Structure 1
Amino acid sequence: MSLELQTQDKPSPARSIDDETKPGEVEAIFLPDWSEQEERKVVRLMDCVLLPVLIAANFMVQIDRGNLSNSLTSTITQDLNISTNQVNVASQIFLVGVVIFELPSNILMQIFSPHLWLSAQIFIWGTIATFESFIKTYGSLLATRFLLGLFEAGFEPGGMYLLTMWYKPDEYALRIGYYYMGKLLASALSGLLAAGILNLAGVAGWVEGLMTIFVAFIFFLLLPRNIRNPIPVVSFNRWSYFTKRQRHILLARLGMGLNHTSSASEGESTAHRRGKVSLKELLETFKNIRLWFHVVITMLSACALHGLTLYTPTMIKSFHFSTIHSNALTSVAYFAAIVMCGALTWLSDRTQQRGLVTLLSVSWSLITWGCLMTVAGLSNKWHKYVILILANLCGVTTHVLNTSWLLSHTKSDQERGISSAVMTIAVNLGGLSGGQIYREEYAPTYHHSIQTMTIVGAAAWVVTVALILLYYFTDRERCTGVERHNLRVDLDTREGETAAKSS
């Protein structure tokens, strides 16, 4: 027998506090029949198999959506005869497409499986991005950005959902952080790419689009179909990334068995059924008050950050750097953000103090955004530049930490899928509302915009503290309830033993 089964009348440490033992319920505990070294080897293999493909795909997401920011330092406004406020509208119409199709995309992912649906998404938006370089009018810009948002919708939460199906809750933050590092790396390299090819009209768009289509084929061919059937399409069912022993560990460490599925299609079907979402599960997830605290934190952070990210190259250029240097110097912020994201997500998994680490990230942003208000009074352009770079460091990291915090408290695959989609909708709604913070009339210092951004950041800090307190008091109350139940069970057991002896 591969697993030894025991019972106990108290919650397992591996479970979320939300999954408390109910009165009269006896919980099953599965003792591992593998060593820590074997499990670490399996986790490392998962990292090598899953993360490179997901990072590459998220890299292309940001490349395709971030080219509008870099084009602001070029001649897009003159070429299309539009103002920067109209560019803001084009940026927002992209987010409208994302918000509209976010949940439907997740439903389609459940129907077709993450492997098939996410691969198709990458191919479709890559095709749209290829033709983006041929736009000649403002109307075609709006249409292209809307379609791009529509078909990129659902990919980010889909990737997070896929990761939570393979990893344990105490491993979420670092892996989701790695996943988003692809996005940060793309933001960094898109600046360098723009710096190198802005003078080559029409090249950037179709090159980036063809790169995305190439990644779509890599994603489809190399990504394992699912956790129960970890065989890539490219193998033609002749080999797997994992041995049978490793597959056993892979499933058992998540509380699943190898099951009786013998064929690839049957295994995929079983994994598929586990992820389907019902209306009842949707409503139950929406009734969780803590979800909406997480949503508000993400919306406020994204609202403040969206305009800053879009206008960072423009602000650097206003410090009297050239167009080429402005795009190249922008990349430094994202390389630094990768380091910050890696450090804080590692700290979150290491300490399991997800709320406090999220608060640390929010506090960093609040402090540096406050410092950014002093930039207009500085004379040294490099001093201005350093403060602007520091202000960009924790934008994506806050969302990663906040989402990991939420997902580590979910109780099922369905709840994780819904929650990750809702959090991505929150990011885009925040960006949509924050898209008009940086307006043409506030240029070149954008002091009024930065002031608004700092106020929004302060609100995010307050909500984060409130959520930490909410978790503390609700979890303490649930723990106390479980302890009272365990005490009653213990007393009943002793009374039964005493009665048996006396009889």
Structure 2
Amino acid sequence: MSVNQEAKGLDEKRGVEFSDGRLSRSEDEGQELTWTEEEEKVLVRRLDFLIMPLLILGFFALQIDRGNIGNALTDFFLRDVGITQFQFNVGQQLLSAGIVLLEIPSNIILYRLGPTVWIGGQILAWGLVATLQAFQKGLGSYLATRLLLGLCEAGFIPAGLFTMTRWYKRDESTSRFSIYFLGNLLSAACSGLIAYGILHMRGIGGLAGWQWLFLLEGIFTVLVGILFICLFPISAANPVSLIGLRYFNERESQILQQRVLRDDPSKVQARQNISLEEVKTTFTNWRLIPHLLMTIVALAPASTMGSYAPTLVISMGYERLQSNAMASIGAWIQLVMNVLWGVIAEKTRRRGLMVFLGILILWGTSLGNRLLVDSTNYPLKFGVLTASLSFQVPFHAVNGSWLSLNCKTAGERSITMAMLIMCANIAGIVGSQLFQAQDAPLYRTGFTVIVAFLSAAVVLATLANLQYWLLNKFQKRVGKDRYQY
């Protein structure tokens, strides 16, 4: 049975079936459910203040625990733990490898258990690991904690993206995807400022500043996990939290379900498992190739810069702890750019163009970093570095929305989102080795490789747009639905 046939069959019953097995029916079996535009807008605003803050908070905690090690480097972390820069890079690769290994299995489990239990459990798990890494000593414990952190974090980002598609319509999703990534970007912006304060605690209780950093931020994550489990609604069909808070009445719940399904029948999720056919279809979908390769080569530099931005600022002659706060300036600008990119892409419905422009600007700023690598004009170098940090990822959320809109079933969408974030973490594995100790402190070779990667990303972004343009010309001739680009 096709997706449209499945959706039609459910509509004939005046209901929609979701993954928790419940069938939502309209308030009157004899007529189709209707609602006003204003009524729908009110419900969407309530969703924005319920669903989005919890997902953003989880993403904030994820990035805090994943990225605070870059701040720890400025507090003699390598010396205290007893590892080299090369070993540090290997640990960063293990974190990304752990995420890649469990990305798809995690989303398959999400499909069955739902976001409240699975996402909340993930946050608790990596929060405990993040807290206990404050007591690591030596190479073995360092590598083990990085791998465990990656395994526990695996699947969170695509789980959040997929969960949003269950609550929002197609023309609402791009801006929400970008807003979701605010959790990541806000963390990057705040982490330097937070670290600046916490790292001054070195010596209190006999602990190093970086130990206090891991302890306090890990405990924060555990609290976020508890909050998520207690407050996040189970599903649109059952909008109740695990502690019994009901957020929408029966009619509102029906509207929330049917507005999404009428907008996109492919979001019917009549089973609690992803079929083998959906897995096969997704893995053999050649249209994904430029998207996924582009993600790897465009995000690898972002991984490098995220870890080494404070160190680069130090190399310009700025004070060790001050560098953490200065490196966060670009991250604050990136917050604005990320939302702006998503809103423009959603309003203009030119997601592919915005992805291309985002990568092109990043290429230009990175080329500036390479050309200035030997310059002693440190204010100019810092300005160009800040501009580069400002455009590291705005294209990424829009690319995710672009992919999501062109998926044909809910299962395919779930796997596609997992594959996208897998590639983002493969980028992390690659990016963790772009800056080598022998290339320090200017990293001439590293910046050269970054420019080469982003040049390839510009080409791949062009190919991604071109393939949909050509496909839509063919689709129009044969009278089939057109692809979104």
1:164 aligns to what SS in structure 2? helix
2:230 maps to amino acid? L
Q: Match of 2:328?
A: 331
Q: Match of 2:231?
A: 222
1:133 aligns to what SS in structure 2? helix
- 449, 461, 468: which one aligns with 1:471: 468
CA distance in 1, matches of 2:200, 2:138: 20
Deviation, 1:274, is: 3.8
1:210 has 2:219 as partner? yes
**TM-score after normalising by structure 2:** 0.87
Q: 1:40 to 1:275 in 2, by over 3 A?
A: farther
- 336, 342, 345: which one aligns with 2:342: 345
Deviation, 1:110, is: 2.1
CA distance in 2, matches of 1:315, 1:347: 32
Q: 1:272 to 1:411 in 2, by over 3 A?
A: closer
1:193 maps to amino acid? I
CA contact (8 A) 1:174 1:345 kept: yes
TM alignment of 1:83-482, pairs within 5 A: 83-200=84-201, 201=208, 202-234=211-243, 236=244, 240-255=246-261, 273-274=270-271, 276-482=273-479
CA distance in 2, matches of 1:176, 1:285: 21
Equivalent pairs, count: 441
2:212 maps to amino acid? V
CA contact (8 A) 1:106 1:154 kept: yes
Q: 1:483 to 1:436 in 2, by over 3 A?
A: closer
- In the alignment, structure 2 segments of 5+ residues that lack a partner are 1-7, 9-30, 202-207
CA contact (8 A) 1:177 1:341 kept: yes
Deviation, 1:377, is: 3.9
CA contact (8 A) 1:230 1:242 kept: yes
CA distance in 2, matches of 1:294, 1:227: 30
CA distance in 2, matches of 1:253, 1:319: 54
2:479 aligns to what SS in structure 1? helix
Stretch moving more, 140-149 or 400-409: 400-409
1:465 maps to amino acid? T
CA contact (8 A) 1:105 1:154 kept: yes
CA contact (8 A) 1:275 1:414 kept: no
Q: Match of 1:50?
A: 51
2:287 aligns to what SS in structure 1? helix
Deviation, 1:255, is: 2.2
Deviation, 1:162, is: 0.3
1:68 maps to amino acid? I
Deviation, 1:434, is: 2.3
- In the alignment, structure 1 segments of 5+ residues that lack a partner are 1-6, 8-29, 258-269, 485-503
CA contact (8 A) 1:115 1:225 kept: yes
CA contact (8 A) 2:261 2:268 kept: no
1:47 maps to amino acid? D
Deviation, 1:476, is: 1.9
CA distance in 2, matches of 1:474, 1:191: 45
Deviations 1:451-495 (A, max 9, x none): 1101110101101111101001101211221189xxxxxxxxxxx
Q: 1:341 to 1:71 in 2, by over 3 A?
A: same
CA contact (8 A) 1:314 1:326 kept: yes
2:181 aligns to what SS in structure 1? helix
CA contact (8 A) 2:372 2:381 kept: yes
CA distance in 1, matches of 2:464, 2:218: 41
Misfit runs of 4+, over 4 Å: 270-273
CA distance in 2, matches of 1:274, 1:312: 45
Deviation, 1:199, is: 3.2
1:192 maps to amino acid? L
Deviations 1:301-358 (A, max 9, x none): 1222221221111001101111111001111111110000010000011111010011
Deviation, 1:271, is: 8.7
Deviation, 1:240, is: 2.2
CA contact (8 A) 1:184 1:334 kept: yes
Q: 1:102 to 1:228 in 2, by over 3 A?
A: same
Q: Match of 1:72?
A: 73
Deviation, 1:32, is: 7.8
CA distance in 1, matches of 2:468, 2:269: 32
Larger Rg: 1
CA contact (8 A) 2:83 2:138 kept: no
Stretch moving more, 78-87 or 147-156: 78-87
1:310 aligns to what SS in structure 2? helix
Q: 1:229 to 1:380 in 2, by over 3 A?
A: same
